[in-house]
């Protein structure tokens, strides 16, 4: 009997390699990313409202038309980051910007911690997109300040720090102090 001719399978490996690389490139092993926040614990009915001086509060109001009112002046999302940075760091120790409290932080020494609090208030009709953009800019402002401090003290960017003690020190020096008021229902939903 005559042997049937063998099929050449040499190129099979190449074909499956192609398929493999195609799937590797197109598929994403869903890595979620986002902006982290910690919500305040449920309100205690007996607690007195915290007494915060006017100079220590940076209010960001977002109305139902997604317009910003920052410190009682109309503003733009593009300016928000710089405004927030100026507010928190208060570089020239102005009377109108937040006070600082000197505290001993390990690895950093006596560091003036800003007492500034950023307060976001939005309407129920504000779009989620705008809200995220505002949160993004405020996170960015804090991040840039942390980076600057980290570069100054440890000669590395904040996110490149690996020692948990150093990370904690920076986080203590520049805390994420963003408070969110319950939304007002002014506009239509």
Minimum distance, C-beta of residue 173 to other proteins, in the bound complex (Å): 19
User: Rounded distance, CA 72 to CA 81, Å?
Assistant: 16
Residue closer to other proteins, measured from CB, 111 or 158: 158
Q: What angle do CA 85, 172, 79 make, to 5 degrees?
A: 10
Asked if 138 and 84 touch (Cβ cutoff 8 Å), the reply is yes
Minimum distance, C-beta of residue 96 to other proteins, in the bound complex (Å): 27
Residues binding other proteins (CB under 8 A): 9-10, 12-13, 15-17, 19-20, 23-24, 27-42, 77-78, 122-129, 131-133, 135-136, 139-140, 143, 180, 182-183, 185, 189
Residue closer to other proteins, measured from CB, 1 or 40: 40
- Rg for the chain (alpha carbons), in Å? 26
Minimum distance, C-beta of residue 144 to other proteins, in the bound complex (Å): 9
User: Rounded distance, CA 65 to CA 188, Å?
Assistant: 11
Minimum distance, C-beta of residue 107 to other proteins, in the bound complex (Å): 23
Burial of 69 (C-beta count, 10 Å sphere; 0-12/13-18/19+): middle
Asked if 120 and 132 touch (Cβ cutoff 8 Å), the reply is no
Residue closer to other proteins, measured from CB, 79 or 94: 79
Residue closer to other proteins, measured from CB, 70 or 123: 123
Residue closer to other proteins, measured from CB, 12 or 151: 12
What are φ and ψ of residue 123, in 5° steps? -90, 160
Residue closer to other proteins, measured from CB, 37 or 101: 37
Give the start-end residues of each E strand in 43-108: 57-62, 68-70, 73-75, 100-105
Minimum distance, C-beta of residue 165 to other proteins, in the bound complex (Å): 19
Asked if 177 and 56 touch (Cβ cutoff 8 Å), the reply is no
Minimum distance, C-beta of residue 21 to other proteins, in the bound complex (Å): 10
């Amino acid at each position: 009997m005559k042997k049937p001719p063998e099929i050449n399978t040499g190129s099979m490996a190449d074909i499956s390699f192609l398929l493999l690389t195609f799937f590797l490139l197109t598929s994403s092993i869903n890595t979620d990313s986002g902006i982290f926040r910690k919500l305040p614990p449920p309100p205690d009915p007996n607690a007195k409202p915290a007494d915060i001086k006017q100079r220590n509060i940076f209010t960001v109001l977002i109305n139902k038309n997604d317009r910003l009112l920052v410190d009682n002046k109309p503003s733009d999302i593009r300016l928000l980051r710089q405004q927030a940075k100026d507010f928190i760091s208060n570089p020239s120790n102005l009377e109108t910007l937040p006070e600082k409290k000197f505290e001993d932080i390990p690895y950093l020494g006596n560091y003036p911690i800003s007492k500034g609090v950023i307060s976001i208030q939005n309407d129920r009709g504000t779009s989620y997109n705008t809200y995220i953009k505002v949160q993004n800019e405020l996170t960015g402002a804090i991040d840039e300040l942390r980076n600057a401090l980290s570069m100054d003290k440890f000669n590395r960017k904040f996110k490149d720090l690996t020692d948990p003690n150093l990370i904690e020190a920076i986080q203590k020096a520049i805390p994420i102090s963003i408070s969110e008021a319950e939304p007002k229902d002014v506009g239509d939903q």
